[in-house]
Amino acid sequence: MKINTRLFLSIGILSLAITIFLIGSESYFTRQEIRALNDGCHKVGGNPILEVEGFLGLNYYFSCEK
* Digit-coded pLDDT (tens) for 10-63: 999 999 999 999 999 999 999 999 999 999 999 999 999 999 887 777 889 999
The type of residue at 51 is E
Of residues 30 and 66, more confidence is placed in: 30
Average pLDDT across the chain, whole number: 91
10 Å CB burial of residue 8 (0-12, 13-18, 19+) is: exposed
Q: What is the pLDDT of residue 1?
A: 66
Query: CA neighbours within 13 Å on the CB side: how many for 13?
Result: 6
CA-angle at 58, arms to 54 and 64, nearest 5°: 100
